[in-house]
Chain A
Amino acid sequence: MLARVGFVARLPGFRRCERSLLSSLRCNATNSVPQTSEKPESKSVRNPRVSEGGRRKKGADLDSTSSREDIRAVRLKKVEELRAGGFEPYGYTWDRTHFAVELQKKYVDLPSATEANEEKDHVAVAGRIIARRVFGKLAFLTMRDDSGDIQLYCEKAKMMDEPFDLLKTSLDIGDFVGVKGTMKRTDKGELSVMVGEISILTKSLIPLPDKWHGLTDVEKRYRQRYVDMIMNPDVATVFRNRAKITSEIRRHMESLGYLEIETPVLQGEAGGADARPFVTHHNALAQDMYLRIATELHLKRMVVGGFERVFEIGRIFRNEGISTRHNPEFTSIELYQAYADYHDMMNLAEELVERCALAVNGSTSITYQETEISLQRPWKRATMHSLVQEVTGIDFASFGDDIEAAKDAAMGFFEGHLERHDTGTIMKSPSIGHLVNEIFEMVVEKTLIQPTFVMDHPVEISPLAKPHRSKPGLVERFELFVYGREMANAFSELTDPIEQRARFEAQVQTHNATMAAAAEYAKAKGDTALASAANDAYEVGMDEDFITALEYGMPPTAGMGIGIDRLVMLLTDSASIRDVIAFPVLKHQ
């Protein structure tokens, strides 16, 4: 939460929100005025729950003022009463002249204990009541809109009697109101709208929570995101910044002459990555379909078709576990540029991330989870082999094809240093390429805090990248790491259809071998393990149509994918991917 303070400070409109909300809650607890309105009305009033079609048991504990159902019943009754009195509690429209923050800015110089009530000072605002203090002939409301908060100063003498009474009897925290009035800064220096006219625009039925367990009850925050957003405006700030980031990316891509296109989500073959896809069924076609796991193969087809610069920002789906960094659906940008190579993509990655950082934070120096990160260009560029060698002291390029010798060397390193590492994955590596990647993931990744381009991956783990122009066994590829996380993946694209076919075949083979090994292993462990392994198994298909497209000729091309969610996490200092996705996938309740 510490990190969030920065955001609040930059948003003048929200500066006081935490406090005013708290004070209102204190009011609720100590001041009897708002409290009575929340209580089931005295016994002289018809019991509203009876008219509710007996939804609730009779004889429920009437004293439990905190009961949500009781409050709901009281508020439902208020809805009826308002209608009976000729007020529609669900209004149709409101002509707003100003947002709260606009008024804060416009009247920043209005001195305390001063009113501004000329013709030009007549304003109309609308928003949700988040705090309410009512005294005999005076009421203070805090109203929150899209931009921030403002106080509503309600003085019975300045209003018609009816609205003031309405306010006292029918208005609750959580309701939406529309207000017309003039401006005043109170003796205490609080800018306020002097209310002349107030209308309830939407009656809320459920009270806002007394305490918002934002930090402890994490699940609830995501399940009822709107409550999270009402109670903590920073949440929406993240989504606003998310919109800024995608918008900045789009603007920059378009300025470079890229065309945004849409490729299908539902596909006959899930290609372009190695991940378990979601399967669905199209009834009319009587055909199983996969949800895309990448946009790569279709975008490349468009480069074949003559769109030399294309990109797509869109949803990707992977049928994998959820974590602070993984949601089954996430957003990526993939972009392809003819006549470019992976060096061009490194420059573009720097440019894009820098622009987004400036758009959101106004600076290339950012703090992520209390770690200082500099996004100042240029970023470190190093090959995967050299990074692995730096940490392990082993030059894996020196082993040629001798996988056993390489494994021995790797085991030597781990035995000497980090015994707890699971050595199984090392022993199972089918090639030196896989081995190097394995070791990279185990010991190097987490050390890459400052932006680093990790270059020139082994060909075995890069089925869609072009062979390196001078280093045999490697490809022209990079992954961008920041804070130990992969942010981008790019290559000079493989354009040779014959080699592409061979790579796909090798990929299918490796995948099937891995799946078979897992099944074999599970067999030894018993039925449940076997069932779970079968559940985890999936097929990697070959996209024949894509190879055919390559046979029609794709120009030399470079491509890059960037995970938008992770970029937003980084630039908004969000710890979990669920903080940057409005409605993340959650387990069954």
Chain B
Amino acid sequence: MEGGGAAPGAMEGGEPMSKSALKKLEKAKKAAEEKRVKEEKKKAEAAAAPKKAKAAQHAEDDEDMDPTQYRSNRLRALGELKEKSRNPYPHKFQTSISIPEYVVKFGEIKDGEHLEGQDQSVAGRVMSKRASGGKLMFYDLHADGVKIQVIAQSNYSDLSEEEFSRMHASIKRGDIVGINGFPGKSKKGELSIFVKSIELLSYCLHMLPKTHARGGKDQEDSKVPEHWHPGLARNLERYPLKDQETRYRQRYLDLMLNSDIRNVFKTRSQVIRYVRRFLDEREFIEVETPMMNMIAGGAAAKPFKTHHNDLNMDLFMRIAPELYLKELIVGGMDRVYEIGKQFRNEGIDLTHNPEFTTCEFYWAYADYQDLMKVTEEMLSGMVKEITGSYKILYHSNGLDQPPIEIDFTPPFKRIDMIKGLEEYSGGKIKLPADLELLDSPEVNKYLVETCEKFDVKCPPPQTTTRLLDKLVGHFVEEQCVNPTFITHHPQLMSPLAKWHRSVPGLTERFELFMNKHEVCNAYTELNDPVVQRERFADQVKDREKGDDEAMAIDEGFCTALEYGLPPTAGWGMGIDRLTMLLTDSQNIKEVLLFPAMKPHEDVIEPPVRAADDVAS
């Protein structure tokens, strides 16, 4: 939707967080960074320290090895295997059961019980390894976010003792293994698989960061659970892998080591699935509209530009699918939606990524009142289904403050924008009773003065649209912690929304705010082509005043309107921001598998050629 707010990109200048929250976050970041430096120093010292009697042990001491040395050792072992014409990367390992299924199926057996004869084949990643003498090994095997114990005893194995210890010496933490064996529980009651044979399926050439570095200040904080699930608060401080750069650039490590992360991305997937199912049930048709356009329309934002060589034609990446979707309604598809990426060539911060995901839907013969009902139904239903409750916990004030509760119980609160501005400024802001006068120079002057009076920053150009937006941000959006509709935006702020049927100067529009952030943007669609052209012309004027976020005119779209767009309601939502709320994420990068990052140098270990390595 226009304003795109639904999506990161709406708030401009990246001031969505309060200053104090930002400060806290910076502080937390600094602390984390100091900790990381300290840890690295420790590691370096450990590596530099004289190697302890190595030969005696095999498993644990790897942890103290210098990472480069570790990698070249493993490469050497790989090379030796290949020389012997043994394939170190088998083509197939047939599992008989997944680990989660294994846990369900055998979780109830008695402590100390062994189910010999009920052999199973499982596979996964070794996340810890412990030896008890030369004939007994324990591993933690992780797969699909679940863990079982692996017990390898030389007397269950077909291998000779020597072969047994050589085999197990070759398996390192991080390796992918396939195991055939029988289920059982240790005397302590830990569900295990007793190994009959074990096969190395893929090597981890790098030393995995240690996982036992648990801790964190607020462990006593009862609101942060050991095992996170959506709707609860998360505690990043407690993660074994804390370094943000590594977590975001090498997401696979984040997923391997920080058990919550997998669940965060599953939650993201659940959000999208819920939206899709909700709309499918209401007989909306999912469509795909172009991501590359001649004109970037439907919102106000800086687009990415690219070039098609063969056609010798510049193209822009879409900033919103709105105009195309409305053209499909003109074409006779009465209910359409699209879930997909939008692109905005803007700065990167806590709530903005250059590409982000939105859902937009268009519904012929409905209006914004219908949309508010549907929004309440969709979001409250989704939160209930995914989290089990209407209420979620969210660290709204930084990780060092207790999380707040956000309540999705319908109906959501509604605040009329202009009345709200007057009310929440304590009556100190007064706008003309005739709201058609909003675009007069007098009102503009008054708003400039008002912003100064309340110390609300509005960098130039100080158009009435921008001034109002800042004031609403300051006075009204601050009220919107629980889901709240801000309704009835002035026409000049909403070039694609239909004028209000009874209040001149306003539109039939709403934005839904949660935790003071815009998540949805919706309106009764403007379908009068003459008025649409006038609104576009006003936008062009704002552009000429220097507001490069004002919209460009799309003649093709205006022509489509002239063929007739039925009364239609349109709605947009930012998937990333909603997911942030449900996963207690303060940074949009937490909910993007591969967030955009600054170009980096040497953050990831510089790859070393295999041959050089083996030689070293």
Contacts and interface: CB of A to CB of B under 8 A. Distances in A.
A176 to B, nearest CB: 4
B332 A553 contact: no
A536 interface: yes
Contacts of B569: 93
B534 to A, nearest CB: 12
B88 A128 contact: no
Interface residues of A, number: 120
A588 B367 contact: no
A553 B607 contact: no
B552 interface: no
Given A266-B355, A276-B309, A305 B254 contact: yes
A259 B592 CA distance: 15
A322 B340 CA distance: 23
A233 B332 contact: yes
Contacts of B596: 264, 266, 282, 285
Interface string A228-242: 111001011001101
A548 B71 CA distance: 12
B202 A556 contact: yes
Interface string B77-96: 01000000001111111110
B176 A240 contact: no
Contacts of A91: 567
Interface string B562-573: 111111010000
B33 interface: no
Contact of A126 (B98, B365, B564, B609): B365
A585 B175 CA distance: 46
A281 interface: yes
B46 interface: no
Given A176-B566, A278-B308, A556 B89 contact: yes
Contact of B285 (A89, A174, A240, A492): A240
A183 interface: no
A518 B605 CA distance: 36
Given A243-B286, A544-B607, A555-B123, A588 B311 contact: yes
Interface string B199-226: 0011111101000000000000000000
B305 A552 contact: no
A271 interface: no
Interface in B509-565: 524, 527-530, 556, 559-560, 562-565
Given A246-B286, A265-B343, A587-B311, A302 B291 contact: no
A340 interface: yes
B610 interface: yes
Interface string A220-263: 00011111111001011001101100110010001001011111
Contacts of B262: 305-307
Interface string B583-616: 0000000001110101100001101011000000
B202 A555 contact: yes
A4 B1 CA distance: 35
A426 to B, nearest CB: 26
Contacts of A535: 309
Interface in B164-184: 174-176, 178
Given A90-B527, A551-B206, A202 B308 contact: no
Interface string A532-549: 000110000000110111
A118 B333 CA distance: 31
Contact of A278 (B125, B306, B593): B306
Contacts of B605: 548
Interface in A279-309: 279-285, 287, 289, 291, 298, 301-302, 304-308
A341 interface: yes
Interface stretch (A349-357, A416-424, A496-504): A496-504
Given A287-B599, A552-B206, 6 more contacts: A202-B566, A262-B341, A331-B288, A556-B91, A582-B324, A588-B311
Interface of A: 72, 76, 79, 88-96, 126-128, 144-146, 174-176, 178, 201-206, 208, 223-230, 233, 235-236, 239-240, 242-243, 246-247, 250, 254, 257, 259-266, 268, 276, 278-285, 287, 289, 291, 298, 301-302, 304-308, 314-315, 317, 319-322, 328-329, 331, 338-341, 466, 469, 476, 492, 495-498, 501, 535-536, 544-545, 547-549, 551-556, 581-583, 585, 587-588
10 contacts: A92-B367, A92-B508, A93-B366, A126-B566, A205-B529, A317-B292, A553-B176, A556-B202, A582-B287, A582-B324
